[in-house]
């Protein structure tokens, strides 16, 4: 289950346009039939995440705390 959500309602149109610009996605779109299919899938997923976050459209993320956060002084001691 996602731990964090970002409301993308205001930028959903921009996200759709950006998806169509990705060269890597054009092959996927061709395999699926049309660009409409991949855009529809994007909209369905974003709407589902939006319902989970009580907004129209959202993206969901899972926080992974796999590595402990380094202390800055351990990385750059000469600057502290």
pLDDT of amino acid 23: 73
> Phi then psi for 60, rounded to 5 degrees?
-120, 145
Domain with 40, as residue range(s), is 4-79
Whole-model pTM above 0.85?
no
Tell me if 48 sits within 8 A of 5, measured CB to CB: no
State pLDDT tens for residues 4-40: 999 999 999 999 998 888 777 667 667 766 656 778 8
> Phi then psi for 77, rounded to 5 degrees?
-65, -30
Instruction: Give how many domains the chain has, as a whole number.
Output: 1
pLDDT beyond 60 at 80 = no
pLDDT of amino acid 66: 75
**In sequence order, which ranges of the chain are alpha helices (DSSP H)?**
12-21, 23-32, 35-52, 72-75
């Amino acid at each position: 289950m996602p731990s964090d959500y970002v409301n993308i309602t205001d930028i959903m149109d921009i996200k759709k346009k950006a998806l169509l610009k990705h060269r890597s996605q054009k092959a996927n779109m061709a395999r699926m039939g049309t660009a409409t299919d991949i855009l529809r899938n994007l909209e369905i997923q974003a709407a589902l995440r939006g319902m989970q976050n009580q907004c129209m459209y959202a993206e969901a993320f899972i926080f992974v705390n796999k590595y402990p956060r380094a202390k800055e002084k351990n990385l750059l001691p000469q600057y502290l």
